[in-house]
Amino acid sequence: MKVEFELLKHIILNTTGCDVHKDLRLRNLVDARKIFSLIAYEEINRTTFSTIGIYLNKDHSSIVHNKKMALEHIKYDAEFKALYEEIKKRFIHEQTITIEDKLIIEIKQTKEYLKILESKLEEMENTKLQIV
Q: What span, in angstroms and rounded, lies between the C-alpha atoms of 87 and 44?
A: 14
User: Which one-letter amino acid corresponds to residue 104?
Assistant: I
Distance of alpha carbon 67 from the chain centroid: 18
What's at 110, amino acid-wise? T
Task: Kindly state whether residue 45 falls inside one of the protein's structural domains.
Answer: yes
74, part of any domain = yes
Report helix angle 2-16 to 78-131, nearest 10. 140
Of 29-38, 53-62, 72-81, 89-98, the least confident: 89-98
35's CB contacts (< 8 A; 6+ apart) are 12, 70, 83, 84, 87
Residue 21 lies in a domain: yes
- Residue 70 forms part of a structural domain: yes
Q: What pLDDT sits at residue 14?
A: 95
Above 80 in pLDDT, residue 35? yes
Stated pTM of the model:
0.74
Provide the number of structural domains found in the chain: 1
Min mean pLDDT across 15-19, 26-30, 43-47, 78-82 is at: 43-47
Write the pLDDT tens digit of every residue in 81-119: 999 999 999 999 988 877 777 778 778 888 989 999 999
Range of the domain at 61: 2-105
